[in-house]
Structure 1
Amino acid sequence: MSNEDRVALSTILHWLENYDVLKAGDIPPEAIGGNSGQKSYDGVKASRLNMIMLDKAIDDLPIELRALICSRYKFRRYRRETLKLLGISVPTYYEWTKKAIRMIYKDLNGIKDKV
């Protein structure tokens, strides 16, 4: 996969930050592309495909990272609620967020970790 075919980290962050809009099928005013080429003839919009890919990548995360991403982006919980719910510190909160987003990036772009 060439670099131009990859979903950028900035796009993934945009999808996460606008998760509710993406889920509803609306297009945010500052819409950022992604995996959206030509119009499909089957009636499935590019934003719906993006949502399916993002949800699959989130589902593939380890349980603690999935819980954090869901709490932060899907359910829009306050940070203090998420910290208490997961029993983690503020530095861990940000460390796990970065790690989860990197894992989502790798998943969406088919990048395998070297063993």
Structure 2
Amino acid sequence: MIDQAKILLLVEDVSVLSALRFSLSIEGFEIAEWIGMGDSPSVAAALVIDERYGGDALAALAGLKRKGCCAPAIVLATNPTAQLRARVAAANAELIEKPLLGDELSSAIRAILKTRKAA
């Protein structure tokens, strides 16, 4: 595992969630479970949120922040609009466009963890 850093996946599509869980596990990340009663979001070193999570990923992210979650976030989106890009930037999150290509997501997570560790 990468320094035992837990990555919290907030993805409602079961097939996408399974694929992300599998690929990130192979990359050495520990995946935190949070489906109402699993790990607290505060255990996460980073969040990966699908744009459709909870109907509005950024509203869900704001709710987590109000509850004390300070993990950096990556928002996954297909064909993001300028408005979504602006909202992601305003939330101090990173946007990665789907479909995911190569190791873009794992590289972004590593960069977040490295930056966080240095701070």
Q: TM-score, normalised by structure 2?
A: 0.33
Q: Which has the higher contact order (CA 8 A, sep 6+)?
A: 1
- Normalized per residue, which structure has more strand? 2
Larger Rg: 1
